[in-house]
Structure formats: C-alpha cells, structure tokens
Structure 1
Amino acid sequence: MPSQNHFPLPAGTPIDIHCHRYRAGGGLQILSLDTHELLHSRNQNPIECIPDDCYFSLGIHPWFIDRQDMETACKTLDALQHHPQLLAFGECGLDKCIATPMVRQIQLFSRQLELAERIGKPVIIHCVRAHAELLQLKKSISPSQAWILHGFSGKPALAAQLIEHGCYLSFGKALLQSDARVQQTLVSVPIERLFLETDAADASIETIHAAAATIRSLDPADLCRQIHRNFLSVFLDD
C-alpha cells in the first residue's frame, strides 16, 4: 500500500473517502474514477489532472458495464494497479435497479475483488438492493482487504449485518436530511467502522463531518481523529 508519508496527513484533517470532484482545501480526498472515464475522455487523461495532494480509486461501476469493452477495462485496471496515488478499487459492486443482468455484474465485480486481494487494496462498494448477493460473495471469497459500502443509508439492522461480516460503512449527504432512520443507523455503527464522504453532493466534507458529530453527540475534533485512525488502519496500513 502507499506509504503514510505519501503526503502529510495531520490528525485533524477531514477525510473524504469518496468524491467525484476535487475541492481545493477540502482535506484529504479519494477521487472516484471509472475506467469508462479514462477510456472515453476527450480531454486530458483524468488521472494526469489529479493534484499531488489527492488519492484516487478506480473501478468498473455497474452502471457503466455495458458502455465499455470489459477486457479493455480490466486491462486498464491492471495497468494502473501500482500507481502511487491509487488507494482503493471501486466504486464497483452490484445494483438491482439497472438492466445489466446480475450474473454479469457479479462476474465483473468478482474480477475486481480478486485484483484487490492480489494487490492488497481495499474496495469501495456500490450496492443497491443486492446486499444478500454481496454477503454471499464475501462469505465465498473471505477477503483479507476491507470492503467499504459507500453512501450508506440503510436501516440499523442491515448495518449490523454488514458490520458483523466485517464491512465498513461510509455515510454522506443523507446525514444532512431530516431522516430519522439514517440518523439512527449512524448512531448504531461502531465508530471504528465508520467513514464519511461527499460523493457527488455540493456539500463540503466539513459540513458532513459536522452533521455526523452532532448526530452522534461527539466533539467534531474527536470524530475527525477517529476517522483519521480508521483511514490509516484501512487504507495506509503498511
């Protein structure tokens, strides 16, 4: 994995583990890229545009499976697996709300999980109404690398089930809404299994951190330090 000294990471730095656009001064960010973006970009290679103080994740999102040649996409993942700023694979995963057959989704997701295991990087996961299939895969693979479900907004019971099977949960813009269920779920998650993100929201990671701290009745600085520890443990554990 990348060294913890890749660039400075003060303990109070807000960490955004999943975003779709870089924000200058927005703390440490993991910019999410899809192989589709790399293969079809009309401008400069998106990876060449990533600032030096930013990491990225790379994957084949289930939404984009049918928009690209899968062998070329997988070769792209292979070619970039040792990039110094590549911190995770994903987002990738399973989605029952799209037309792509689940069998095909599982096939491509499994290939990325195998690569993540081989290289030793965590996986940022998109999962929509396919948690049973996801957990079945986890049982069959028994991965050594962390699985992080991004944009989580499910019920506490589902969160507990995922955590029981070793998953991490990342919360985002849903925390800014008056959604008692999401707030209840956030409170129920063990803090050492928690991450925060902006995803595609306009809100800053500082705003989401503040909302999470309020919901959990924590000092924002204490929450920030704990997520910093989670980040070092999952992403930069040499």
Structure 2
Amino acid sequence: MMDLHCHVDLYPDHGEILRDIENSGYYVLSVTTVPSAFRGTVALAENLTNCRTALGLHPQLAHQRHNELPLFDSLCNETRYIGEIGLDGSKGYAEHIEDQLLVFEHILKKCCEFEDKILTIHSLNAVDEVLKLLKKYPSSGVPILHWFLAKKKQVANAIELGCYFSVGPAMINSARAKKVISWLPRNKVLLESDGPFAKTDGRPTLPSDVVLVIRYLSELWERPINQIQDDLKLNLKYLISSKKL
C-alpha cells in the first residue's frame, strides 16, 4: 500500500512517524514545503527503503520563499518526485497569488527538462488556475492532485489531463470531499495521509491510517477490501512506470 503525501519532517515525533513507515511497509512519499528542507528530510529517512523524498515549495510559502527557486533548480535532478507545489486561493493566501503563479510556473517549466517527474499538487480554491498551467506544461510530469476539492466539471478536466488523485482519511469525514471521491475514476485513485496537518482521532494522521480510506472505498465501490488493495497497488505501479514526454 502507499501514502503519497506525508510531511515526514514536520511531525512532532520523528521516531513515531519513522517507525510507522517502517512497520507498515507502505510506499511513502515524504513531501517538503521548501527546497532548503529537502536534504535534511532525505537524511531523516535515509534508513528506510520504502520512503522517497519529494522536492517542493508550498504555495502558502511562495511569497516568503520564492528566493529558493535557484536552490530548487539545483536539486531538481536529485529526485523524481516534486511536491508539495501548486496554488492556494484561500483567505490569507489569495493576496499572494502572483508570487504563487511565478513559483508554480517556474517549477513546471523546470520539470519539463526531465522525462519522468511525478508531481503532488495543492489546488485549494485555485483549481481552474492549476489545471490551466498543467495544460500549458503537459511535459512537466504526471500530476497527483492532493486532497482535491472541485466541481464535477473540474474533475472531468483533471481526468482529461491525465491526473491522479490522492485521497486521505480526513477526506472521508467531509461530505464535500466524499462527493468528489465518488466522481473519481478507480484507476486514478491513490492514498495519502497529509500528516501531521490532517488529523485522525485528534492526533496527526500516520501512513498506516490510510486503511480507513481502503475500507471506505470498499463500501463505495462495493468490492472486497483485498480487491481494493489490488486495484490501488496497480494504480501505484502504473504511476511509477509512467512518463510524460
């Protein structure tokens, strides 16, 4: 199984999250919020064979850390995975949308220099703008829309662009998110925790908590849990073997 969006370096207890990754055996993508955190996060999980680190610059930090773009460029060949990146049109961040657009477009352009990037993307209250830029840079990589909240037409547009969608335990506690999940194609669904920001039972969500999503999908799709697990593993296999040329 997998957790394709986890902020490993930001957990208050690194020992707990590292043990959970090791004990679960799940394929975990450790995302970063600024390029300067990348190498330290790589070192944090260096003894885990089932954890990969992504290089990111979070849209909520774009206006403060856009000066790290040269560092992003210098590190971009050290990992296949890019994230967390994207745009955020929420209150408190929409005022910085020009900085966000500059950063996100720069990153997509840079990723076009490679053939195999996988991108985990934040699009809260900025779905149309994110999809517009993904369409503009189709060679930037394979997009995973993290915690995707959108209208049905926007979901259809994302599917047309070849996007995957990562679903976490926090989403299945939201009526709005559950509606979006019901619109997703089964062959494009992946799992995430978004811990430690997302919470499960009042504590930071761990990779092992994605089992809650598996149970939910089993009910939604009316398929046994073992078949859901097989479907999700196949989705991960196709993601990892994919390229956008």
Fold equivalence (TM over 0.5): yes
Query: Deviations 1:65-102 (Å, cap 9, x if unpaired)?
Result: 2333x34x22332333333xx34111111111205532
Which of 62, 65, 73 aligns to 2:62? It is: 65
Q: Map 1:155-170 onto structure 2 (within 5 A).
A: 155-170=151-166
How far has the Cα of 1:225 moved from its partner?
1.8
Kindly indicate whether the alpha-carbon contact (under 8 Å) linking 2:124 and 2:149 is maintained by their aligned counterparts in 1.
Answer: no
Q: Which moved more, 1:135-144 or 1:16-25?
A: 135-144
- Residue 83 of structure 2: aligned partner: 90
Aligned AA (1:93): G
Which of 51, 55, 60 aligns to 2:52? It is: 55
- Residue 110 of structure 1: aligned partner: 105
**Matches of 1:107 and 1:138, distance apart in 2:** 14
Which of 168, 180, 183 aligns to 1:185? It is: 180
Give the 3 Å change call, closer, same or farther, for CA 135–175 of structure 1 in structure 2: closer
The alignment status of 1:198 with 2:193, answered yes or no, reads: yes
Higher helix content, 1 or 2: 2
- DSSP-derived class of the 1:154 partner: coil
**Matches of 1:99 and 1:237, distance apart in 2:** 33
Percent sequence identity is: 24
TM (normalized to structure 2)?
Answer: 0.78
Q: Which moved more, 1:155-164 or 1:121-130?
A: 155-164
Aligned AA (2:41): P
After the TM superposition, list the runs of 4 or more consecutive aligned residues in structure 1 that deviate by more than 6 angstroms. Answer: none
Query: How many aligned residue pairs are there?
Result: 216
Unmatched 5+ residue regions in structure 2? 9-16, 199-203
The alignment status of 1:212 with 2:205, answered yes or no, reads: no
Bigger relative contact order, structure 1 or 2, given CA contacts below 8 A and separation 6+?
Answer: 1
How far has the Cα of 1:178 moved from its partner?
5.7
**Matches of 1:89 and 1:100, distance apart in 2:** 25
Unmatched 5+ residue regions in structure 1? 1-13
- Residue 135 of structure 1: aligned partner: 131
**Matches of 2:40 and 2:140, distance apart in 1:** 32
Q: CA RMSD in A?
A: 2.4
Aligned AA (2:5): H
Kindly indicate whether the alpha-carbon contact (under 8 Å) linking 1:175 and 1:182 is maintained by their aligned counterparts in 2.
Answer: yes
- DSSP-derived class of the 1:17 partner: strand
**Matches of 1:56 and 1:151, distance apart in 2:** 19
Give the 3 Å change call, closer, same or farther, for CA 229–144 of structure 1 in structure 2: farther
How far has the Cα of 1:214 moved from its partner?
2.1
Aligned AA (1:115): K
**Matches of 2:223 and 2:112, distance apart in 1:** 35
